[in-house]
């Protein structure tokens, strides 16, 4: 089960928890520094097209419109719901992600298709950081919504998971579709940190005896998804990286190794363009463009 980092960086919306010397902010409370307004993408040799449009209500993200590259129109919208400025729900058509808290900490995420539970994510904290996510997914073999659920998780979780995790999940789902995957999955993600950045991300599949480990290097510039929905400085939630990933390598239990590089163009310390390079194959991928609220 090999997973590559694609040209499209799925990392959006940081998920961190703010704690000062005098007080701590609750998990899920939004405190942004810079707001993304639109994301464009251009394949190598292709045309720059709109991928996403973000709508804000003051300092809260209200919705994200996802565009179809063929029709150039909106194909789905994700809506964000808050209670006392803390994220509690992301909805997309009939699919809903719910965020459950215990005190100030996020303890569990549930995915629902109307009255049917299809996803549970248990959250483990170690000291001031989330270090383990335990995933259980439930799919009916003949579920017509399976593909849409996969997109929902891969895209909507961009509001609550590191960009690397969302990208890896997207690749997992894509591989499952091609391999006629089973209806039940259980796997675990473990994070290791170096300051405010994730240096290692380990995926373990107990039933398959398979694992894959990603390691990352960073620049010193501002990650535009840091300090968004969850605010903060890597205190006690999905600790998202403060800086931008410039290099990624992965090795799985089969011994397969993969390397990738991200090349950035910055404006006032924030990326406005990022191009992907597959070091293993030498392939230069497309470019993602970010626009911000003025």
Residue 200 pLDDT grade (very low, low, confident, very high; cuts 50, 70, 90): very high
Sign of CA dihedral 35, 88, 132, 153: negative
Sign of CA dihedral 68, 52, 266, 87: negative
Burial of 170 (0-12, 13-18, 19+ CB in 10 A): buried
Helix (H) or strand (E) holding 102: strand 95-102
pLDDT digit string, tens, across residues 34-82: 888 999 999 888 899 999 999 999 888 899 999 987 777 998 898 999 8
Tell me how far the alpha carbon of residue 292 is from its chain's centroid.
19
As a whole-number percent, the residues of the chain with pLDDT over 90 amount to 26
Torsion of CA 94, 97, 100, 105, to 10 degrees: -160
Residue 13 pLDDT grade (very low, low, confident, very high; cuts 50, 70, 90): very low
**Is it the case that residue 103 has pLDDT exceeding 90?**
no
Pairing of strands 116-126, 184-194: unpaired
Give, rounded to a whole angstrom, the gap between the first and last alpha carbons of the chain. 43
CA distance 76 to 60: 20
- The predicted model scores a pTM of 0.77
5, 249 in Cβ contact below 8 A? no
Question: Which residue in this structure is represented by tokens 């011994």?
Answer: 255
pLDDT digit string, tens, across residues 261-286: 999 999 999 999 999 888 888 777 88
Torsion of CA 162, 163, 168, 172, to 10 degrees: 90
- Maximum average pLDDT range among 16-20, 105-109, 136-140: 105-109
**Is it the case that residue 15 has pLDDT exceeding 50?**
no
CA distance 131 to 133: 7
Altogether, the residues listed in the chain come to a count of 294
Domains annotated on the chain, with CATH: 36-292 (2.40.160.150)
pLDDT digit string, tens, across residues 159-181: 566 666 766 766 665 554 444 45
Q: What is the largest CA-CA distance in the chain?
A: 53
Question: Which residue in this structure is represented by tokens 């994730």?
Answer: 198
| Whole-number average pLDDT of the chain | 75
């Amino acid at each position: 089960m090999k997973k590559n980092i694609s040209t499209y960086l799925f990392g959006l919306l940081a998920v961190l928890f703010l704690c000062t010397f005098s007080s701590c902010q609750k998990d899920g409370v939004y405190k942004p520094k810079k707001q993304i307004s639109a994301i464009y993408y251009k394949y190598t040799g292709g045309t720059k097209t709109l991928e996403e449009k973000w709508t804000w209500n003051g300092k809260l993200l209200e919705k994200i419109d996802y565009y179809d590259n063929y029709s150039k129109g909106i194909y789905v919208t994700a809506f964000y719901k808050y209670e006392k400025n803390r994220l509690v729900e992301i909805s997309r058509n009939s699919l809903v992600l719910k965020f459950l808290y215990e005190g100030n900490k996020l303890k569990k995420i549930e995915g629902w298709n109307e009255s049917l539970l299809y996803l549970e994510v248990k959250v483990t904290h170690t000291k001031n950081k989330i270090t383990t996510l335990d995933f259980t997914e439930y799919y009916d073999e003949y579920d017509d919504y399976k593909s849409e659920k996969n997109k929902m998780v891969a895209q909507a979780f961009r509001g609550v998971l590191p960009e690397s995790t969302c990208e890896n999940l997207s690749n997992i789902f894509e591989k499952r579709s091609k391999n006629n995957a089973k209806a039940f999955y259980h796997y675990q993600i473990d994070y290791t940190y170096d300051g405010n950045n994730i240096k290692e991300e380990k995926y373990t599949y107990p039933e398959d005896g398979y694992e894959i480990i990603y390691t990352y290097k960073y620049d010193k510039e501002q990650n535009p998804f840091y300090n968004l929905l969850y605010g903060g400085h890597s205190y006690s939630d999905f600790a998202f990286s403060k800086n931008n990933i410039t290099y990624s390598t992965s090795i799985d239990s089969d011994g397969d190794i993969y390397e990738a590089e991200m090349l950035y163009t910055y404006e006032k310390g924030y990326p406005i363009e990022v191009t992907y390079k597959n070091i293993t194959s030498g392939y230069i991928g497309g470019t993602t463009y970010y626009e911000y609220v003025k």
